[in-house]
Amino acid sequence: MNRQTAYLLTSFSLIALIILSLSWELWIAPLRPGGSWLALKALPLCLPLSGILKKKIYTYQHSSMLVLIYFAEALMRLFNAYPAEQICAALSVVFSIIFFISCLSFVKQYKETNNAR
């Protein structure tokens, strides 16, 4: 995977995770009818968004660890009884994996490019 592809996948999956987290907890399958305060879990995902879009390597390195929390939460909720919640959790798992792998790929490409100079 080249650096530009990693950048695009990282950006897409982070934005998708933010949108999915909000819609999951507010409309699709909230823990309580009418929405849940759990929608605030999208806020920490918004923090690295600027650095990811500006291609800051430090942000890529640290946000790859942040997304593991969302992966674990989605994996646990994947086994819930409600189909809508299962679909949201499955999408969250997929977006988390894409984000993690593309972050690592971006960092690897960045380091290879800068060590070659």
pLDDT single digits (tens) 48-95: 999 999 999 999 999 999 999 999 999 999 988 789 999 999 999 999
Q: Does residue 102 have a pLDDT over 70? A: yes
pLDDT single digits (tens) 3-54: 999 999 999 999 999 999 999 999 998 888 877 788 899 999 999 999 999 9
pLDDT of residue 90: 96
pLDDT of residue 1: 86
Pull the structure tokens for residue 53.
């879009």
The distance in angstroms from the start CA to the end CA of the chain is 20
User: What's the length of the chain?
Assistant: 117
How far is CA 82 from its chain centroid? 22
Alpha helices (runs of H) in the chain, residue ranges in sequence order: 3-23, 43-46, 49-53, 57-77, 83-115
pTM of the complete model: 0.92
Mark residue 114 as left, alpha or beta (left: phi above 0; alpha: psi -120 to 50; beta: remaining). Answer: alpha
How far is CA 53 from its chain centroid? 14
pLDDT of residue 117: 60
